[in-house]
Structure 1
Amino acid sequence: MTRETVSLGAFRFECGESIPELELAYESYGEFTGDNAVLVCHALTGSQHVARAGRSATDGSNGPSEALRGGMDQARAWWDDVVGAGKAIDTTERFVVCVNVPGSCYGSSGPASTDPETGEPYGTDFPAVTVADWTRAQRRLLDHLGVDRLKAVVGGSVGGMNALDWAKRYPEMVDRVVPVAAAARLDPQCVALDGVARRAITTDDDWNGGDYYGGKEPDDGLALARQIGHVMYLSKDSMERKFGRRAAGRGAARDDFPVDPAAGFFPYRDVESYLDYQARKFVERFDANSYLYLTRAMDNYDLAAGCASETDALANFEGEVLVMSFTGDWHFTTEQSESLAEAFRTAGVDVAHHVVDSDHGHDAFLVEPENVGPPLRDFLDSGVAGRAVTDTEAETGPAFAPVHASLFGD
């Protein structure tokens, strides 16, 4: 595994603003043979550290940033059960690259980075970032690495939007695209919740207009934002199964946020305790300004932007596509994924929509590698021709349907 941060010169963002030096932190796995490169795009608060690949997160001469060194959750080998030797994205056969996107806080240029013109962190003076900027920056890095064609681009959640943008922006450079638990755009309900989450950060007195570096950080606002986001990643069924309405144990903490006087009469519930725990861990590893920037990039993304339709946006792509969705995911629904698959079909693109029956919610693409890995491996090896069962057999519920058209019919 190679872990590096490279400087790639000046970069102009879609918003029209520029920075004098774009730095991108990335990890690569396996050996490049000219036609075996796979780009993996991380989700909203993930990092370039997609797999351990036999090494810890702290070894090597190019060690991780302080944020990654202390990080938890997705920041540490977030798809280790999918990427690696002998796994679905097999690093003994493929050259795998994962890049921390601009605007994030794991080594790539973002609000917490130092502005060379002032010697201080950019803060909210950092340019607004879009998913298209992520794609263009990744292309810049791949050019630096000598990769002129990709066997596949794979991404989960907003990383799936990033993968879709590759099919739209650089169709001649990609053979296969795999958006997992993604969609052509975010629906209004999720945009609304993201807006509330951002307000939780910007109304924290410690946010200070984004100029909090070196002082007290807006941890309470970021913690609340994470809790709102985390609820979007779970399903009703998974929350009922994990928590129900149970009260937390006697030793459970209740000091994460101020509480009202009546709180002493009512139980502190398991679900509250879980969200408080997740919030505490998150603020240890992520930057509040980055959360603002990245959620806005996700909310703004629209595959059809600048085109007559989604089909028009995909008209120049001549490769193959595997769309993966999960039945319990209400953040990016199976219906949204089927609409995306239909846009590819209408554009004349060979596409398969693999639907996983799951009650884990949006997090399923991270916590169910046993359901993600097999169809992904099948598709990377053989494309849509790698279907091991017919559509009819898939609908009757075999133990495993490697890649089938959809539960909607085709």
Structure 2
Amino acid sequence: MSAVKFHHHGRFALAGGTLPDAITAYQTFGDPKNPCIVFGTCYGGRLDGTGPLGNMWLIGENLPLDPRKYFIVNFASFSNGESSSPSNTPPPYNGPYFPKVTYEDNVHAQYAVLTKELGVSKVFCAMGVSMGGQLAYHWAALYPDFVDRFVSICSAARTSMHCSTVIESVKFAMTSAKDFNDGNYTSHARLAVGAAQRILQSWAYTHQFFRERLYLRGRMYTDLKDFLRAEGDGGWLNWDANDMLTLIDTWQSGDISKTSRVNVLEQGELESTLAGIKAKALVMPSKEDMLFPITDSELEVQAMKNTKAKLAVIPSQLGHGAAGGFSPPDTEFIVTQLNEFFAST
């Protein structure tokens, strides 16, 4: 595991205010002289390996993100607990007083790290899963001459009303928990985080996901509670509730047609924004994903008329869990697509 590094931006403007010393956490793999791949975190993703999800399943020798071929930069999003977050920012910006953050804020901060700290002049590929995939879309929209191509896995250019409603239920459960105290909790808000985790599991897991994890992996659980604790609680229950809520706000506001680079007269026009993307694209939805359905990806690829955009549907029965290295067949499909995409001109 590469060491996590921290870039101090100094005063940095976010959508909801200005932090006096914003921090972006990142880790690098490979030689900076090689083509650069930017890999953003998803919801629950951490660089130090303590979260339920991470990026290491695609990084390594003989994997698509091979440090012998590429210079890989893993970035932690604001509010993941490593970059500036409600849980690690000093007063008066701590806890519920942390400013609202957008994907655009994250991309601008990461661009500063690449250009000022790491000397990167061009990104070969920006990529990610779920929220990380939305970051990749924002890279293509915000820095069209800086990013050659991007990969979006189990994700979308805009958070749909359906997806936003699902994660709104997570917010409601958290803020209603008796230990949340309007975000001013004095000890770990375990009930709030636990409520969120259960809802996330119910939407992320399909019938087949339960079947594979319960019966086909050689790990038998005594009952449903045992399964849910083993498969999710270990990664989630140490997370900070305000961090999770700020990330949800970022997720809900995700929309590349509402960034500062879009003409004010066209704000909200997703198709025209997609049509203006120059970067070559690989869009990989999962067949049974209930958070980011295939239909959204199909429309997005059709709208990207000025670039080579490929739609590759992951033939998975695991829904949103198709990405993350959980299923060997799904991972093999993703790896094959990435290798072909990286090798293409």
Q: Pick from 237, 260, 277: which aligns with 1:317?
A: 277
What SS does the aligned partner of 1:93 have? coil
Structure 2, gaps ≥5 residues long: 259-265
- d(CA) in 2 for partners of 1:133, 1:203: 29
* Contact 1:149-1:174 within 8 A present in 2 as well: yes
Over aligned residues, Cα RMSD in angstroms?
A: 2.2
Q: Where does residue 261 of structure 2 map in the other structure?
A: none
User: Based on CA coordinates, which of the two structures has the bigger radius of gyration?
Assistant: 1
1:377 partnered with 2:330 = no
Q: Pick from 212, 216, 238: which aligns with 1:285?
A: 238
CA displacement, residues 116-150 of structure 1 (integer Å, 9 cap, x when unaligned): xx4x7711111011111111111111122111210
1:337 partnered with 2:309 = no
What SS does the aligned partner of 2:244 have? helix
Q: Pick from 307, 313, 318: which aligns with 1:349?
A: 307
- d(CA) in 2 for partners of 1:217, 1:310: 40
Q: Where does residue 297 of structure 1 map in the other structure?
A: 250
1:5 partnered with 2:13 = no
Displacement of 1:170? 0.7
For 2:88, the aligned partner's letter is S
- d(CA) in 2 for partners of 1:241, 1:81: 19
Q: Where does residue 188 of structure 1 map in the other structure?
A: 161
1:223 partnered with 2:181 = no
What SS does the aligned partner of 1:209 have? helix
> Structure 1 residues 322, 129: closer, same or farther in 2, change over 3 A?
same
What SS does the aligned partner of 1:166 have? helix
Q: Where does residue 83 of structure 1 map in the other structure?
A: 59
Q: Where does residue 73 of structure 1 map in the other structure?
A: 52
1:360 partnered with 2:332 = no
- d(CA) in 2 for partners of 1:282, 1:241: 19
> Structure 1 residues 72, 129: closer, same or farther in 2, change over 3 A?
closer
- d(CA) in 1 for partners of 2:60, 2:214: 33
* Contact 1:102-1:134 within 8 A present in 2 as well: yes
- d(CA) in 2 for partners of 1:287, 1:164: 27
Identity of aligned residues (%): 24
Question: How many residue pairs align between the two structures?
Answer: 329
- d(CA) in 2 for partners of 1:317, 1:304: 11
* Contact 2:197-2:232 within 8 A present in 1 as well: yes
- d(CA) in 1 for partners of 2:289, 2:20: 40
* Contact 1:153-1:163 within 8 A present in 2 as well: yes
Q: What is the 5 A alignment of 1:4-403? A: 4-15=5-16, 17-33=17-33, 36-49=35-48, 71-74=50-53, 78-105=54-81, 107-115=82-90, 118=91, 122-144=94-116, 145-212=118-185, 215-240=186-211, 242=213, 252=222, 270-305=223-258, 307=267, 309-344=269-304, 347-366=305-324, 367=326, 368-383=330-345
Any runs of at least 4 consecutive aligned residues in structure 1 with deviations exceeding 4 A, and if so which? 240-244
Q: Where does residue 264 of structure 1 map in the other structure?
A: none
- d(CA) in 2 for partners of 1:274, 1:121: 37
- d(CA) in 2 for partners of 1:295, 1:43: 11
* Contact 1:113-1:121 within 8 A present in 2 as well: no
* Contact 1:223-1:279 within 8 A present in 2 as well: no
For 1:5, the aligned partner's letter is F
